[in-house]
Structure 1
Amino acid sequence: AAAAATPGITILDHTIATGISTAGGAVTGVEAVDLASGEGLSFEAAAVVIATGGAGWLYSHTTNPDVATGDGIALAYEAGAELADLEFYQFHPTAFRGDGAPPFLISEAVRGEGAVLRNAAGEAFMAGYHPLGDLAPRDIVARAIVAEMRAAGSENVFLDCTVARGVDLAARFPAIFAFCQGQGIDMRSAPIPVAPAAHYLMGGVRTDTFGRTTVPGLFAVGEAACTGVHGANRLASNSLMETVVFGKRTVECLGEAPRGAERDPRAIVDGVDGGPAPGHGTLQALMWDFAGIERSHEGLERALGTATGWANSPARPTREWHELREMGTLARLMLKAALLRTESRGAHYRSDYPEQDDRHWARRQVFRRGN
């Protein structure tokens, strides 16, 4: 609402960006489609900022909204920008898991107040996985939960908040308390069913500390960007500070963007065609099963072949087709990055290479179109 009321800002509803235009190696604008009319749109710009968020919708279970498809990252790649650290995807260990309910994030702060994870048998299990028990790093907790779920053949474990003595849970965690109440659970007296969910992409469009990508005039901020500050495993809440700090620094640089070659605005399609796209669910299940919390060469290779097919599918002027194509592009790159990194580091865990290998892998992977 604040943005819509700001002079100089025009918000285009029901419009998707389908390409970033360049000339002479620099940005010249954005191509888009009006989904209501099917009309192709072309916008000239000396600077374009990718602020499209992450890619949680690539996975079956995610805390992200359904617009987090990673298409902005894929568009930057197609325009020639470098992407980095794509193998590092963070899975939050405790998202609500219930029939028909969204995977609402249950903060680790709840465990910080004394809540305990229990398996299907009611046993507290985290002490057997890490010296810090329930306060272990996110990736370790997520893998432990998956192991307990697999052993029990269950869809979730439980977060027991009844042992958090002396804590007013309703006052300390009002949003979580209200959500659980809406699901028929009083967290003061009953355990919360939880399981891991895709949460945050540490990688993205490679930028400097002023949001500049490797394409002149193209900038990226927020989760779509990869500044490198999160390394292989983001610390909680650091992404909020990153967005504020680097977002401000990016704005300071926008006036420096070189103007690319002039071009005439033009329509890029004549109308909507092609019918519905295949469902996102198949790609999401593939990524969850083979590029999720635990990965292996066999699984990554299997998923890579399917994702490559979607990435190479012809673009059609519907949101569903566009999103699936760009999701396929980013999924292919994420799978390739995970396949190449033959070690485990941070949020990237290979069951066939479970140890960290600093001798060969104390370095970043960068992808550019054509390499």
Structure 2
Amino acid sequence: MVGVELLLDPRAGRTLLRADAVVLATGGAGQLYEFTTNPAGATGDGLAAAWRAGARVDDLEFYQFHPTALAVPGSFLVSEAVRGEGAVLLDAAGRRFLAGVDRRAELAPRDIVARGIADQMKRQAGLPVLLDATAIGRETLESRFPTITAATRAAGLDWAVDPIPVTPAAHYFMGGVSTDLLGRTSLPGLYAVGEVASTGVHGANRLASNSLLEAAVFGWRAIEAIGADELPDTESRGGETPDAVSGDGPVIRRSDLQRLMWDAAGVERSGARLALAAESLAAAGRPTADTVEALETANLLDVARLVVKGALAREESRGAHFRSDFPVPDEEFARALSWAREVPEHAHR
């Protein structure tokens, strides 16, 4: 079947929208994690739907964590440009600590800074670290970073006077639905663009702003491909794709899933923690209610299982994926890890 099942149409309930082609442009899945810079709707819906339909997915273990999100509800992103301007990171006692992690200190790559902060937070009982931008001066902060200044004020902070609390937060999903360079997925008639897609342009550690390439360039390419491709005959296709498997345990709460993923599949991973997380996720029951909250949480559960599966399989450290038990890259893994769900043949007839 080519089309989309609309589960929450306010007028008609569950309805089927047939189409010659479907383009997924549904964004990332930052809501997998306890801390994220992503909006509330970043729940992996398109990725989960494509996976259930049998589309191939790639590199789901690669999630980029931004090192400095404001440690208040909403996790507002504090750009690394602030550190480029001269801001420094301090521990709870007011001491700089990143020079002991990397010679580039605050200007090291995102993954190194994020891990350095996460490690320091463990040392201080989970308290956030502090970003000290006071030496930059109020005038420069307000003129160069007006949006961040407004966010700090909204949180009751004045970063021109005092250091502000920051923490790493899930920021960008580099893996996703596998596509070619025209946005085509492994399923005829299904295309994916933007953060939901895995185009390969990010490698294991996305460069800042490279997401604009994935959204803008591949969006246009997908449009051109749809016009040129021989699309499936929607009239001759039907049937239903079965839901993903539900565990026999209690229905998982989103907050519990997010905490589990943050602890086991966050900035730093280990085989032992990932294996325990895989067991817990396999046993978790899926929400079944036809509400936005329940449907999104069910999608997050599907994606969480895949992320943990990928992180367990990649027994090395590469880019944003860091395994404490395999701390160096392994040339055996200098490739994408791909997964596809077997879907009964009747579901595609």
TM over 0.5: yes
The CA distance in 2 between the partners of 1:313 and 1:160, in whole Å, is 43
Does structure 1 residue 319 correspond to structure 2 residue 306?
A: no
Alignment of 1:233-312 (within 5 A): 233-257=205-229, 258-262=231-235, 278-310=252-284
Question: Identity of aligned pairs, percent?
Answer: 50
Change (3 A) 1:264 1:224: closer
* 1:323 shift after superposition: 1.7
Deviations 1:258-281, CA, capped at 9 Å, x for gaps: 13241699999xxxxxxxx75310
1:301 CA displacement: 1.0
| Paired residue total | 333
Structure 1 pair 166–65 and aligned structure 2 pair: CA distance change class (3 A): closer
Deviations 1:278-316 (A, max 9, x none): 531011111011000111111111111222234x73744
Aligned-partner Cα distance in 2 for 1:248–1:111: 35
Counterpart-to-counterpart distance in 2, 1:351 and 1:191: 30
TM-score (norm 2): 0.90
Aligned: 1:231 with 2:203: yes
Q: Is the 8 Å Cα contact of residues 88 and 348 (structure 1) preserved in structure 2?
A: yes
> Counterpart of 1:369 in 2: which secondary structure?
coil
Q: Which residue is 2:97 aligned to?
A: 125
Q: 1:126-160 CA deviation, whole Å, 9 max, x = no partner?
A: 11111211010111101110111111224200000
Look up the equivalent residue of 2:328 and give its one-letter code.
E
Q: Secondary structure at the match of 1:49?
A: strand
Alignment of 1:147-186 (within 5 A): 147-164=119-136, 168-186=140-158
Write the deviation string for residues 175-228 of structure 1: whole angstroms up to 9, x where unpaired: 001111112222111111100011111000011111111111100011000100
Q: Which residue of 2 aligns with 1:274?
A: none
* Aligned residue number for residue 16 of structure 1: none
Unaligned runs of 5+ in 2: 242-250, 344-349
Deviations 1:25-67 (A, max 9, x none): xxx2111123546721001101001111000001111111111
Distance 1:180 1:330, change over 3 A: same
Name the structure 2 match of 1:142: 114
**Could you tell me which of 31, 42, 63 is aligned with 1:68?**
42
Q: Which runs of 5+ in 1 are unaligned?
A: 1-21, 23-27, 269-276
Runs of 4+ in structure 1 deviating by more than 3 angstroms, as ranges, are 35-38, 263-268, 312-316
Which deviates further from its counterpart, 160-169 or 182-191?
160-169
Identify if the C-alpha distance between structure 1 residues 184 and 319 changes in structure 2 by more than 3 Å, giving closer, same or farther: closer
Structure (1 or 2) with the greater helix fraction: 2
Over the aligned positions, Cα root-mean-square deviation in angstroms equals: 2.2
With normalisation by structure 1, the TM-score equals: 0.85
Q: Deviations over 1:309-339 (max 9, x none)?
A: 34x7374422222222221111111100000
